[in-house]
Structures are given as structure tokens and as C-alpha cells.
Chain A
Amino acid sequence: MWVWLARRLGQVVPTLLILSFLIFGLQQLMPGDPALILAGEERGDPQVLAQIRAELRLDRPLHEQYLHWLGDVLRGDFGFSWRIRMPVAELILQKLPVTAQLATMAFLIGALIGVPAGILSAVRRDRPADWLANAVALFGISTPNFWLGIMLILLVSVELGWLPPSGYVPPTEDFRQSVATTIMPAFVLGTNVAGVLMRHTRAAMLTALAQDYVRTARAKGLPERVVVWKHALRNALIPVVTLGTIEFGRLLAGAVLTEQIFTIPGFGKLVVDAVFNRDYPVVQGVVLTTALIFVLLSLVADLLYMAINPRLRHA
């Protein structure tokens, strides 16, 4: 097990290194000279341009720029926002909790719908309940989040007037208001998760139900309830838990458009605003952060897989 763990951690290092190349490389794609963009009105002044180039180390060779950048990143310095005039790391830390709240709520909604639907659909295979669950999952996967969000605002906020169409209140300020402002976007995000988790749960349950130990349990005369809930489900949930962890990471990306539609000042809104303001260090910082979270979550997913799968734990 320790060997496995060491090898798994060893895999993370090259992945992160390649990621750092890719993310640093992004800025090479940028059209035009960043110094010209930053100088604004003073773009005609060669002294200002030289000063900016020196400050951003644009006058150094590429490999030197990269090493400096990597060193900064390792120290937690993700650069400086061109527009908001704040360290990128600080901006991200400010916005991340908002998105984390949204993602957690969305994940709960998705798991509470998707997992039971998947179990039901596997147990009632090829019967109306299965068809219905499959149809709902397909709709959840095929509906673009941003359209569902707009439609919900139209129905729930404009027509019925039940919930505010936009805005955000932190839970520390007013918990009820906070839930009221985030429940719709969380639901929008959650539908996709529900669809994916339903399909995974269904597949895993079908596999588990076809195993010998399930046949043995049934042959022993155990009630179907015990066979399904105890014998099959416990084993079926192992892959679902790990896939669920990855889905949680994907929610961060899914939040980009949803936050835009519901004007929630989170991580996604940060990157979209940065794109529009051509605030490249922020875009870079966001990509870096999501990648780090994702790599970390896949590591957690593998560890969870080890922890809940007894065969691997003792291997």
C-alpha cells in the first residue's frame, strides 16, 4: 500500500510540471505586446514601456521568465491583476468560498437525485422507472446549464416571483437569504451532476447485482431488500464515490456560466470578467488554481478508493 501511495504521489509531480509549462505557455499565445496593453495612454513613451517590460521581466529570455514565474507560483505568488490592482492569489481566495458553497450545494442536490435514481433504475431494469430515470439523466446531460438557468429565472423569478433572479448573500450574513440566492444556480449545476451520477450508479449497481456473491446471498434466502441495500449497494458505491469526487471538481468549471447568469460574485465570474478586461494574470491564475484543485481531488478520489475498497487496503 505504501509503495502504491508513493508511486501515485510520484505521478503528480510530472503532471504538475507539465501543467506549469502549459499555463506559462498560455501567455505566449497572447496577441500583441502586453506592455502596450498595460501602458494604455502612455503607450507612446518608450521609458514607460521599458519600465513595464523590466517589471514583468518581459526583457529576459523565455526560460528565465519561466523559472521566475514558477518560483513565484511555488511561493504562492500568482502575479498581480492588471485591472483590479490586487495580487491574483488574494482575489482567488476571496472568490473561491462563494463558488465552493455553490458547488457543495449543487453536489448535494446532484447526489441526492442521481444516486437513488441510479439504484432504482438498476433494480427496476427495463421497466418504466428505469426508462424514466434514463430519460431524466439524458435531459440533465443534454441541457446546457446556461439555458436551464435562464429558463428557471424566467419561470421562478419573473413569472412566479418566488426567488430573486440574481445577487448573492454570504451565509455568515444571513443564512436564509444566502440559500435563497444560491438554490436556483445550485439546482442548475446539480442537474448535470445528477445525470452523470445516475448513469454511473446504474452501471455499477448492474455490475454488482450480476456478481456471484449476490447470487449466493439470494440463494441463502436473504430478503431482496438486504441483498440490494447491503450486498450490492456497498460494492457498487465504491466507483461512484471516486467518480463523484471528480464530478465535484468539474463543478468549478460548470460554475463559470451559471455564476455569470445569476450574477454571483464567485470564481467563475472572476475569470469571465478577467477575460473581458484582458486581465491575463487573473485568467492564468484561475486556470492554475482549478488545475491544482483537480489534481488534488483525483488524488483524494484514489485515496478514497483505497480506503473503502477492502481488497486494496490490505494489498
Chain B
Amino acid sequence: MSATAAAPAPAERGESPGRRALRRFLRHRIALFGFLVIVVFVTVALAAPWVAPYDPLATSWTAIRKAPSAAHWFGTDENGRDVLSRVVWGARASLMAGVVSVLFAAAIGVPIGLVAGFAGGVLDAVLSRIADAMLSVPFLILAIALAAFLGPALENAMLAIAITFSPVFVRLARGMALDAKATDWVEAARALGNPPWRIAALHVLPNIVPPLLVQSTLAIAEAIIAEAALSFLGLGQQPPAPSWGSMLNSAQRFLESAPWLAIFPGAAIFLVVLSFNLVGDGLRDAFDPRAERR
């Protein structure tokens, strides 16, 4: 991961680095598959009111824990609610939690990391030590503790995930800033009298985009698992609002009589997380300047 990854114009057959990365990504069939799955899930989540066959909250006494059928593709749950509709609406909570918390984490972490890397000295030492300290608490434990102290709600779970993830972005941005500081073009920009903020915004930020994109995609995968885990523990989305994690929690009680309750929400988590991981890996390969093989 070097700053030269997207260095201005190596002029390889006149192709810009972004375009080359796109071309490579499009040739990466498995990553493309992951991307398509994400597009499908996002579309379904956005169009939930039209896609879901039933109201996800509507209970029914005559349809309690019915196995999957033509009327209810994924069966019904312990309150007679349609599982497919709940999985569809649950996609909203999961995807939103994953994307928003990672955006938040990057929004907190990247500026701090850039400042630390550029300023150096005491400020850098303090900020880096704080990031180190936060990274030394295992991710899920810190998220659980934060969510517990903040109180159970989806917004708090997202906030907890965002805070726990931010040091990863601090490290990434700091490393990129340090790399950039040592390059000739930043040296030149500085010699021309550009103020540090201008150098950071114009010369470092564009170079940080590829690794940031890779890191964010992989972080979204982890954040979706974390949100599901917090909801599973009752610290995320509150019932009766549907979320994949809380659906799995209540499914546990009916494992023998209604296994479909556990299968579908879990499969949805798995598929989305797998897809984000595939896209993240694909992006990493696509941006890797050393790998022209593929």
C-alpha cells in the first residue's frame, strides 16, 4: 500500500489510474457477482414497501409458524408475520447500519489521521496512542459496552459501531499522510508555499481514495455483522421493527418446530456480508499496481 498507487499519470497506454482500476474490477467476475448481489439487496431495501408481499408488522392468529408455502415463501413467524416481508424490511436496517456507521467512522477517523500524520510530534503521538488503545479492546466487546451504556436503540448501535471502527481509519489516513509527506510532489507543493490544509486536501486526499474505498467496503461487511450481533443481543433495532439479528434471536426458541425462522435471516446476512467481502477483495486487486496479471 504505497502512495504511488494512484500517482499522477504513469500514462500507461494513456489510461487514468481510476479507469484502469475500473477495467480490472469489471474483469474480476467473482467481485462483479458480489457487486450485483449488493445492487439487488439495496434495490430491495429501497423498494421495500412495494417488494414486500405483506406488512412486516401485521400479526395473524391463523398463520402462526407456518412452513414456507406459495402464500408465504419464507414461512411465517411466532406471531404469524410473513418472514419474507420481514427479511425485506430488515435489509433496510442492516444495510443502513452498515453503510452509515462506516461513513461516520471514516468521517471521524480520516481527518484525525490526516492531522496526526501531517502535524507529527506530540499531537501525532497522542492521537496515535488513543487509536492504539481503542484498537486494543476487541471490536465487539467495545461495541457492546458502548451500546449498553448508550442504551438499546438502532441509532446507538450505529454510533457504537462508528466509534469502534474510527481508529482503523485514523491509522489508514495517518499512514497515507506520512507516505505522502515523503513524496516529491508534496515536497514541491510545499516549496511553492501551499499551506498544509491545501496540501492535505488536494494532494493527499485523492491518493487516499483507493485504499479508503477498499477498507470501507470490507468495514461495511464487518459492520453489518456487528449490527446483526448487537440486534441479536437486543442492543440494536428494537422489536417489533424487523432486523435480521433480532429475527435470529427469536428464531432460536423455535428451532425444532420452525427452523425456517433461523435459516432465512441468517442466509441474508451471510449473502450480503460475503458480497461486500468479494467486492472489497476485488477492489484491492483492481487498485494493486503490482498485479497486472489478472
Contact = CB atoms under 8 A, between A and B. Distances in A.
A151 B138 contact: no
Pick from B129, B133, B150, B221 the residue with the most CB of A within 10 Å: B133
Contacts of A16: 133
A142 B273 CA distance: 6
A254 B140 contact: yes
Contact of B138 (A252, A260, A275): A252
A150 B273 contact: no
B145 A287 contact: yes
B69 interface: no
Interface string A261-297: 1000000000110111000100110110011001100
A290 B138 CA distance: 7
B58 interface: no
Nearest to B259: A154
Contact of A147 (B140, B150, B255, B266): B266
A286 B146 CA distance: 12
B208 interface: no
Interface residues of A, number: 48
Interface string B146-173: 1011110000000000000000000000
Contacts of A315: none
Interface string B174-196: 00000000000000000000000
A150 B248 contact: yes
B255 A287 contact: no
Interface in B116-144: 129-130, 132-134, 136-142, 144
A268 to B, nearest CB: 9
B225 A158 contact: no
Interface stretch (B45-53, B60-68, B226-234): B226-234
A157 to B, nearest CB: 9
* Max chain B Cβ within 10 angstroms of own Cβ: one of A147, A257, A275: A147
Interface in A119-171: 138-139, 141-144, 146-147, 150-151, 153-154, 158
Nearest to B143: A253
Contacts of A207: none
Residues of B in contact with A, size category: 35 or more
B136 A294 contact: yes
A172 interface: no
A29 to B, nearest CB: 4
A94 interface: no
Given A271-B141, A275-B148, A287-B142, A144 B136 contact: no
Nearest to B225: A144
B251 interface: yes
For B137, B251, B262, the residue with the greatest tally of chain A CB atoms inside 10 Å of its CB is B137
Which of B144, B252, B259, B269 has the most chain A CB within a 10 Å cutoff? B144
B142 A150 contact: no
B73 interface: no
B52 to A, nearest CB: 22
B255 A150 contact: yes
Nearest to B273: A142
A142 B228 CA distance: 13
Contacts of B132: 15, 18
Contact of A291 (B129, B137, B252, B259): B137
Contacts of A31: 150-151
Q: Report which residue of B149, B251, B255 has the largest number of chain A beta carbons within 10 angstroms of its beta carbon.
A: B149
Contacts of B42: none
A310 interface: no
A18 B133 contact: yes
A77 B136 CA distance: 21
B140 A291 contact: no
B131 to A, nearest CB: 9
A294 B234 CA distance: 26
B136 A295 contact: yes
Given A144-B266, A147-B270, A252-B138, A18 B277 contact: no
A36 interface: no
B129 A151 contact: no
B234 A287 contact: no
A22 interface: yes
Contacts of A158: 255-256, 259
Contacts of A116: none
Nearest to A16: B133
Contacts of A294: 136-138
Contact of B248 (A18, A146, A283, A290): A146
A221 to B, nearest CB: 29
Interface of A: 14-16, 18-19, 22, 26-27, 29-31, 138-139, 141-144, 146-147, 150-151, 153-154, 158, 249-250, 252-254, 256-257, 260-261, 271-272, 274-276, 280, 283-284, 286-287, 290-291, 294-295, 298
Given A143-B270, A275-B144, A287-B137, 6 more contacts: A146-B248, A249-B138, A252-B138, A253-B140, A286-B145, A294-B137
- Per CB-CB distance, the 5 closest pairs between chain A and chain B, nearest first, are A253-B138, A147-B266, A18-B133, A142-B274, A29-B149
